[in-house]
Structure 1
Amino acid sequence: MITIHLRYEIDADKLADFEEYGRRWVHLVNRFGGTHHGYFLPSEGDSDIAYALFSFPGFAAYEQYRIDSATDPECRAAIELARTTGCIKRYERRFLRPLDANPQP
């Protein structure tokens, strides 16, 4: 399993636009075979930082999602929403793996 951690710097004045963007991607990641763990929006502290986490069974499945989503109309519309509203200033992507709490000897 691979989990993708996204850290967004957002325009705090366009939080509603970013929320709509996030709602779309939760649905889309799940439709493409991933498991979206949600978007985490500013509450206390920094008002311009948000996070998202989603997982795929492995890196190959994630890469297939990237290929397939590049031409998907709903994905393109979500990207266009972020672009036209300017709700996302920048983002960082990290790839994580879960710790196996019960490794086999």
Structure 2
Amino acid sequence: MITIHLRYQIDPEQLDTFTEYGRRWIRLVNRLGGDHHGYFLPAEGDNDEAFALFSFPSLAAYEQYRIAAATDPECIEAYELVRGTGCIVRFERRFQTPLFGDEAELRP
């Protein structure tokens, strides 16, 4: 299993737009074979930082998702929401292997 950790720098004046973007991607990632763990929006402290986590069974499955998302009309529409508004200033993407619970082993 692979988990993708996204850190976003967002425009705090466009939190509502970024929230809409997140709602769309939760549904889209799940529809395209992933397991979205949610978006984590600013509440206290920094008002321009948000996070998202989602998992795929393997890196190969994630790559298939990326290929499908590049031509999926709903995904393209979500990308365009960001391009048109500038609600995301920048983002970082990290790939991690999750460890679940006390008895769990790392899942490659």
What TM-score, normalized by structure 1, do the two folds share?
0.95
Q: Secondary structure at the match of 1:70?
A: helix
CA drift at 1:21: 0.3
| CA distances 1:16-75 after superposition (whole Å, capped 9, x unpaired) | 000000000000000001000000000011000000000000000000000011000000
- Of all paired residues, the percent bearing the same amino acid is 69
Over the aligned positions, Cα root-mean-square deviation in angstroms equals 1.0
Unaligned runs of 5+ in 1: none
CA drift at 1:12: 0.0
Q: What CA distance in whole angstroms lies between the structure 2 residues aligned with 1:102 and 1:71? A: 37
Count of aligned pairs between the two proteins: 103
The corresponding residue for 1:49 is: 49
The corresponding residue for 2:16 is: 16
CA drift at 1:102: 3.7
Q: What CA distance in whole angstroms lies between the structure 2 residues aligned with 1:102 and 1:22? A: 30
Q: In structure 2, give the amino acid aligned to 1:67.
A: I
Unaligned runs of 5+ in 2: none
CA drift at 1:98: 1.4
Q: What CA distance in whole angstroms lies between the structure 1 residues aligned with 2:99 and 2:41? A: 25
What TM-score, normalized by structure 2, do the two folds share?
0.92
